[in-house]
Amino acid sequence: MKTIDNFNFNQKTVLIRVDFNVPLNADFQVTDTNRIEAAKPTVLKVIKEGGKAVLMSHLGRPKGEKNSAYSLKHIVASAEKILGVPVVFIEDCIGNQVKHTIDSAAAGSVILLENLRFYAEEEKGDENFAEKLAELGDFYINDAFGTAHRAHASTTIIAKFFPQAKCFGYLLAKEIESLDKVLNSTEKPVTAVLGGSKVSSKITIIENILDKIDHMIIGGGMTFTFIKALGGKIGNSICEDDKLDLALEILQKAKEKNVTVHLPLDIVVADAFSPDANTKIVEAKNIEDGWQGLDVGSKTLEDLKPVIMQSKIILWNGPLGVFEMEKFANGTIELGNFIAEATEKGAFSLVGGGDSVAAVKQFGLAPKMSYVSTGGGAMLEMLEGKILPGVRAIQE
């Protein structure tokens, strides 16, 4: 598979699908610039070699209608600051006027098109719309991992119009490489930390990775489905009662594949789902009625530390507790500290999934991880063993 480094973009007009779906505040200012920063190396390579970088993205869910609240004009100032060059904004993304503006721009220009989702055809994966986009350039780069699991016009369909002139950008290539490192590692042991509230949302991931890991640490709300399935008392903790048999099946499969499963030994319980709740630490399998588990306790963390420290590859997908409330953040913070320490000693750590990513950013741990994924849904689908449409389109 050719990478961006196999091409020179001198005199080329390069369509780059970026993921500039960034959060805006009430004054339409960008509050998190990570996704723009992530696209920077790809954009700079194109313009430094004398190509024109034509950036395509969506923003929010305008539902196929033009709506100034979702206009990409709001992110021009942030993009200029991060890229360090002027950004020409065009108030549409297809048509003769757009083509004329692009053609008239000097080599080395950065051009940002208006929100692709102002056209319903984008999300429908409409071939005519994809062709209209393709007419604007002579090379296509997909660097939007966050939307690579969608077969939209700009992420997947457009690639067929560039049979020999397409590649992954640096960001998308790095995402694929990082996941490949976790899923196909020759280094052992491999540890997966899986948190979150529901077993049902993680079942396909668990089934796909059991052959590839040595340790599975289970945390978050789905802990209690496993504990109840094993005959423990979980009080008022969250639980999927219809998944108890499934939890036992997972534990049996893990045993057959020599995967050591780590469930919490002790739990921080609260008498309400509230930052002001009364709390205490109890044995994980003995939670009284009226109390619910919202974080892991100190014995659990003592148990997990050596597992993390001995790991060569660590996948972290899901927090250990309700970290959004300070009282129940300790387990997630400490786990993050263990992973950071292991990473410093040479382990490869990949963090992915919305809540885990939010946690490492909130607690200043992101720079201490080997890689923090930019795409929640896309990463989960790759962990499930699926080939993403946006990835396949470049490889074909």
How do residues 83-111 score in pLDDT, each as one tens digit?
999 999 999 999 999 999 999 999 999 99
Q: Tell whether 191 and 155 lie within a shared domain.
A: no
Q: Tell whether 88 and 150 lie within a shared domain.
A: yes
> Phi/psi class of residue 235: alpha, beta or left (left: φ > 0; alpha: ψ in -120 to 50)?
left
What pLDDT, on a 0 to 100 scale, did the predictor assign at position 1? 64
Q: Tell whether 130 and 245 lie within a shared domain.
A: no
Domain boundary among 172, 196, 229: 172
Q: Tell whether 195 and 260 lie within a shared domain.
A: yes
Domain boundary among 144, 172, 200: 172
Give the active site residue among 50, 64, 232, 377.
377
Q: Spell out the long-range contacts of 245-249 with Cβ–Cβ below 8 A and sequence spacing 24 or more.
A: 246/199, 246/200, 246/203, 247/199
Q: Tell whether 367 and 295 lie within a shared domain.
A: yes
What pLDDT, on a 0 to 100 scale, did the predictor assign at position 216? 97
pLDDT tens-digit profile of 366-383?
999 999 988 777 888 888
Give the active site residue among 17, 35, 45, 368.
35
CATH number of the CATH domain containing 248: 3.40.50.1260
Q: Does 156 reside within a domain?
A: yes
Binding site as annotated, residues for (2R)-3-phosphoglycerate: 35, 117, 150
Q: Tell whether 50 and 80 lie within a shared domain.
A: yes
The share of the chain scoring above pLDDT 70, in percent, equals 99
Q: Does 47 reside within a domain?
A: yes
Binding site as annotated, residues for substrate: 19-21, 35, 58-61, 117, 150
Residue 143 to residues 50, 69, 88, 122, 300, Cα–Cα distance (Å): 19, 24, 20, 17, 39
How much is the average pLDDT of 13-32?
95
pTM for this predicted structure: 0.88
Q: Tell whether 135 and 228 lie within a shared domain.
A: no
Is it the case that residue 197 has pLDDT exceeding 90? no
Q: Tell whether 203 and 166 lie within a shared domain.
A: no
Is it the case that residue 140 has pLDDT exceeding 80? yes
What pLDDT, on a 0 to 100 scale, did the predictor assign at position 384? 86
Domain boundary among 110, 144, 172: 172
Q: Is 377 a catalytic residue?
A: yes
Query: In terms of residue numbers, what domain contains 191?
Result: 185-383
Q: Tell whether 232 and 341 lie within a shared domain.
A: yes
User: How confident is residue 37, by pLDDT bands cut at 50, 70 and 90?
Assistant: very high
DSSP symbols for 66-92:
--GGG-GGGGHHHHHHHHTS-EEEES-
Q: Tell whether 168 and 32 lie within a shared domain.
A: yes
Which range (73-77, 193-197, 279-283) has the least confidence? Answer: 193-197
Q: Is 232 a catalytic residue?
A: no
pLDDT tens-digit profile of 291-332?
999 999 999 999 999 999 999 999 999 999 999 999 999 999
Give the active site residue among 40, 327, 354, 361.
354
Which range (71-80, 151-160, 177-186, 223-232) has the least confidence? Answer: 177-186
Residue 163 to residues 141, 155, 242, 395, Cα–Cα distance (Å): 12, 14, 48, 10
Q: Tell whether 56 and 192 lie within a shared domain.
A: no
Give the active site residue among 73, 198, 305, 361.
198
Binding site as annotated, residues: 19-21, 35, 58-61, 117, 150, 202, 293, 324, 353-356
How much is the average pLDDT of 171-191?
92
How much is the average pLDDT of 50-54?
98
The share of the chain scoring above pLDDT 90, in percent, equals 87
Q: Does 391 reside within a domain?
A: no
How much is the average pLDDT of 348-352?
95
Q: Is 35 a catalytic residue?
A: yes
Q: Tell whether 295 and 215 lie within a shared domain.
A: yes
Counted domains in the chain: 2
